[in-house]
Copies of this chain bind each other. A is one copy, B any other.
Amino acid sequence: MQHEVGGMDYSPDLDLFARTELFQGTPPEALRFLQASAGRRRLAAGDILFQQGDRTTSLFVVIAGRLRASQMAQDGQQIIIRYLGPGEVAGYAALVGSDTHPGTVTAVDDSHLIGWTSAIVRQIMERYPVVAINALTLLGQRYHEMQIRVRELSTERVERRIGHTLLRLAHQSGRRTARGIEIAFPLSRRDLAEMVGTTLHTVSRTLSAWEERGIVSCGRCRVVLCKPHALVAIADEEE
């Protein structure tokens, strides 16, 4: 963790991290302490924040950009756990007291994060229980997301899962454009396949079919949802 102490951008950062869900309700003196003890980290698209199995040293909050949390099996098969955007936490291991990172986090766009050592995080949580309670809430949401994903993987066909996944991504980081809602970061067919639990071939075929029907519009690492309602119909249709 490098400390780029360039006095001029104090308050913007303070504003940004203090508004995240993790630090809601934290008293001002704690925020000042956090501000003073924070490290900064800038990543270019493709850079790795930390890798699966790395020793846990810090907790990060995303200030700007987009990152991907993934997990790899011993046979090299990879899955994407989720994408992270501004305000979200990367490096949960430091919150839950795990000594190694269970997954790898990679920037998919140029990103800016701030972070604190595990010791500081621990200290803050012991002194300001509200932070630990906020962390519980956040982790609870993620746990619930994973439950839903397990249910989808267990019970739904590929087409519906792709639909749900795209809708979720659009919700998290959709950008309105003339043609529809665009997923606002580079997302390849392979990436989508690793989120959905299928192959890039099947994703490609499905998107092609949808493009035919005008539901989506896609290019290299780009997906635009032109008719989100049609996608909802596909994702939630009875049968």
Contacts and interface: CB of A to CB of B under 8 A. Distances in A.
A80 B131 CA distance: 31
A125 B139 CA distance: 16
The binding surface of chain A is classed by DSSP as: helix
A90 interface: no
A92 interface: yes
Given A126-B133, A129-B129, A154-B79, A140 B73 contact: no
B139 A143 contact: yes
A163 interface: no
A65 interface: no
A137 B197 contact: no
24 contacts: A71-B147, A73-B155, A75-B155, A77-B155, A81-B147, A92-B140, A95-B136, A96-B140, A96-B141, A98-B144, A102-B144, A102-B147, A122-B133, A125-B133, A126-B129, A127-B129, A129-B129, A132-B132, A132-B136, A136-B136, A143-B143, A146-B150, A153-B153, A155-B197
